[in-house]
Amino acid sequence: MAIDFDWYFPFNSSGGDRTCDANDFASWFAANQSDGVHPQPSTALMVMAYSGFDISVAPGRCVINGELGRVNEAKILTLDAPTGSQNRIDIVVARLNVEERKIELEVKKGAASASPVPPALQRDADAWEIQLAKITVLYNAASLNGSVIQDTRPDADVCGISAGIATLDAAPFFEQVERQWALLKDQQAQESQAAMNANQGAWDQWFANIQDDLTGDVSGLAARVETIAAKVNGVYYEIYRGNATVPTTAWTALENGLFAASVVNANITDATDAEFYVDPNEYPFLTLLPFALPYAGHATIYAERMPSVDFTGTLKVIGLRANT
C-alpha cells in the first residue's frame, strides 16, 4: 500500500482538498534558497553614508526563512547622534516581522562603552534578522563617513549571499562506500585464504609424493641438482628434441596414488636431464606433474590421474657441457 508524503504542493484543488497558503511557498523557497542578500546587483541592500547621520540602503532583494523582500528605491535611515564620551556600534538589519507579515529595515542602536559591542540579532519565532552593516558611531563625530561603515552582507554568520541550495551531505554515501569496501576486502581475504589453502594442499601432496620417490638410493639427486644449476648458469645444451607418444598401456599405478609411465629415448642417461610437456590446449584433461626423472635410456613421467587416451608430447634431452 502506498504511503503519502506529509506535505506536497502545488496541486490544483478539487473541492478545497489541495489548498495552500504563504507558508507553503515560504517552505518551498527556504528549502531551495539560502538566507541572505541576492547577489545581483553587487550593491544590493548595500549601506552607505548619505548625509550627517543619515545612511542609505541601496535597492536590492533578500531572502529570509523563505520569505522574499525587495527594495525598489534607496531607503534613508537615520542614526542617533552620539552623546557622552564613549563610542557605540549600531547595526543595520533587514527583519522578517512574522506578526506583521512583512520585511523591514531598521537601525538597531548599540550601547556606548569603552569597549563597545554591536546589538544582538533577533532570531526567534517572532522575528528573524539579517545584518547588512555594522557602523561605529564615534563619540566626537559630527557626521558619518564611509570609513566607519563595515559591510557585513558577505558574512554568512549574520547575513550571507543568497544562493540556490545545491549542496549535499555526502557523509551517508561515504559510509555506504566504506561498508561495501570492507565487505569486498573481507571477501577477497577469504578467497585468497581459500586459494592459499588449496595450493598448500597441492604442494603437500606433491612433496609427499616426491619424498616417496626419493626414499632409498638418492645418488641420482646430486646429478639432477647439478644439471639444474647448469641450466641456470647457461652451460647446458640440448641433445635431443622430438615427439614421443605415450599409450594408455604404458601407465602403472604407484602406491602413493600417482601414475607413472616411461618415455624411451636412447639419448637419456643418468647424467642428462629430461623434460616432457604437452600442449594444454590439445590435452586440457591431462594432470601431468611438471617434471620428468631421467634414467638410462628412458625418462619417467608422472600424472595425478590415469590418462584415458594415448597422447603425444615433446621430449627434450639436455646435457651438461664439460668444464673448460
Report pLDDT digits (tens) over 234-280.
566 788 899 989 998 888 888 777 888 888 888 888 778 888 888 88
Tell me how far apart the alpha carbons of residues 283 and 301 are, in angstroms, rounded to a whole number. Answer: 16
**Mean per-residue pLDDT, 121-147:** 93
pLDDT at 105: 95
Instruction: Kindly report which listed range (55-59, 154-158, 201-205) carries the lowest average pLDDT score.
Output: 201-205
Cell numbers that stand for 279 in this block: 600442449
Tell me how far apart the alpha carbons of residues 140 and 138 are, in angstroms, rounded to a whole number. Answer: 6
**Mean per-residue pLDDT, 162-183:** 75
Tell me how far apart the alpha carbons of residues 307 and 258 are, in angstroms, rounded to a whole number. Answer: 11
Backbone angles phi, psi at 113, to 5 degrees: -165, 160
Q: Which residue has the higher pLDDT, 161 or 16?
A: 161
Q: Which residue has the higher pLDDT, 48 or 10?
A: 48
Return the ∠ at Cα 184 (arms to 179 and 188), rounded to 5°.
Answer: 150
**Mean per-residue pLDDT, 163-170:** 67
pLDDT at 324: 47
Cell 592459499 locates to 196
Chain centre distance of CA 141: 59
Backbone angles phi, psi at 300, to 5 degrees: -100, 130
User: What's the predicted TM-score (pTM) here?
Assistant: 0.49
Q: Which residue has the higher pLDDT, 80 or 31?
A: 80
- The secondary structure of residue 272, as a DSSP letter, is S
Does residue 15 have a pLDDT over 90? no
- Identify the band that residue 109 occupies on the pLDDT scale cut at 50, 70 and 90: very high
pLDDT at 186: 79
Does residue 220 have a pLDDT over 60? no
